[in-house]
């Protein structure tokens, strides 16, 4: 309960300040709409179902791109983690692509794939692939040789060593990579939707801006932050559960 109030206090202070400043009408309600106005817009969008639609569209895109990125990152991560000698073949390309912001590719992607779902899913794949790939690679490559020797002593073959020792050993890194990748893809989709979309939370913000509805822009920002935060919380909960049923410090 104490922690709840510690977390709630700064939020309450920010909202109070916001209310006070908007009541003082230093800026017009177009520049800074008050919390009440924002909440009314939010409620209207909830009731009409528009907000849920935008959220679901964005979430669906994130999920699709994220899953494709995970499969790719997993397969290539296995190759890179289990066969470190293959690094020279891909290292430079990976480093090059990692440093290119996915949004910078949007113009080309629209040109090649149109403004449909494909270009946005590719943006998410590009955004979430690298943290997952690098973490999966690291997790597998850093497997404790002593544990692999235990597998050897128990007569395990290579596949058994991989599935029963290397993979579980790499699980914390894989999950951390997925968590980071999910955050990246969430941020990337909002950007992509602001450039080329007719639905989704990014589009909601851009549309509201063009209609001079600052209150809706703020609703969009809040929803993006809250949905992203909730996804992250769910993921960290899953990580805790996946790693030994949540036993503290049970990972060496």
Partner 1 sequence: MENLCKSYRVAEKQLKVLDGLTVEFPEQSITVILGRSGCGKTTLLRVLGGFEEYDSGTLLRPPLHKMGMVFQEPRLMPWLTVWKNVIFGLPKAQVDPDRIRELINTVGLVGFENAYPAQLSGGMQQRAALARALAYDPELILMDEPFAALDHFIREAMQDELLRIFSVHKKSIIFVTHSIDEALLLGQKILVLDQGRVEQEFSLESFDYPRDILSPELIDVKKNIIKIITQRSIT
**Using CB under 8 A, which of 99, 153, 210, 212 touches partner 1?**
153
Nearest-10 Cα torsion for 81, 84, 89, 93: 50
Q: In the complex with partner 1, which residue's Cβ is closer, 91 or 244?
A: 244
**Using CB under 8 A, which of 13, 75, 150, 230 touches partner 1?**
150
Window contacting partner 1 (CB under 8 A); options: 54-62, 132-140, 142-150, 221-229? 142-150
Q: State the burial class of residue 218 (Cβ atoms within 10 Å of its Cβ: 0-12, 13-18, 19+).
A: buried
Q: In the complex with partner 1, which residue's Cβ is closer, 147 or 227?
A: 147
Give the CB-side neighbour count of residue 246, counting CA atoms within 13 A. 5
Radius of gyration of the chain (CA): 23
Q: In the complex with partner 1, which residue's Cβ is closer, 212 or 250?
A: 250
Our finding on whether 251 is near partner 1 (CB under 8 A) is yes
**Using CB under 8 A, which of 91, 92, 152, 158 touches partner 1?**
152
Segment 221-250, which members bind partner 1 (CB under 8 A)?
Answer: 243-244, 247, 249-250
Q: In the complex with partner 1, which residue's Cβ is closer, 81 or 102?
A: 81
Window contacting partner 1 (CB under 8 A); options: 128-136, 141-149, 183-191, 228-236? 141-149
Lay out the site mask for partner 1 across 161-200 (x = CB under 8 A, - = otherwise).
Answer: ---xx--xx-x-----------------------------
Window contacting partner 1 (CB under 8 A); options: 129-137, 147-155, 191-199, 215-223? 147-155
Q: In the complex with partner 1, which residue's Cβ is closer, 75 or 150?
A: 150
Report in angstroms how near the CB of residue 175 gets to partner 1 at its nearest. 12
Query: In the complex, which residues of this chain contact partner 1 (CB under 8 A)?
Result: 146-147, 149-150, 152-156, 164-165, 168-169, 171, 243-244, 247, 249-252
């Amino acid at each position: 309960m104490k922690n709840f109030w510690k977390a709630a206090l700064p939020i309450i202070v920010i909202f109070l300040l916001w209310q006070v400043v908007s009541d003082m009408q230093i800026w017009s309600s177009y520049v800074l709409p008050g919390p009440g106005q924002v909440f009314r817009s939010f409620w209207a969008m909830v009731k009409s179902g528009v907000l849920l639609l935008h959220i679901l569209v964005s979430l669906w895109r994130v999920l699709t791109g994220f899953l494709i990125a995970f499969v790719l990152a997993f397969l290539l991560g296995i190759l890179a983690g289990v066969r470190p000698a293959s690094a020279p073949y891909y290292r430079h390309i990976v480093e090059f692509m990692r440093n290119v912001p996915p949004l910078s590719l949007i113009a080309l992607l629209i040109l090649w794939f149109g403004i449909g779902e494909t270009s946005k899913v590719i943006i998410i794949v590009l955004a979430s692939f690298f943290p997952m790939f690098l973490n999966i690679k690291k997790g597998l490559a850093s497997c404790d040789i002593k544990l692999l020797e235990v597998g050897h002593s128990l007569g395990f073959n290579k596949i058994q060593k991989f599935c029963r020792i290397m993979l579980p050993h790499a699980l914390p890194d894989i999950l951390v990579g997925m968590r980071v990748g999910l955050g990246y893809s969430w941020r990337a989709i909002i950007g992509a939707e602001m450039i080329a979309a007719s639905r989704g939370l990014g589009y909601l913000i851009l549309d509201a801006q063009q209609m001079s509805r600052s209150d809706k822009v703020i609703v969009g920002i809040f929803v993006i932050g809250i949905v992203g935060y909730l996804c992250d919380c769910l993921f960290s909960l899953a990580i805790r559960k996946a790693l030994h049923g949540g036993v503290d410090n049970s990972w060496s």
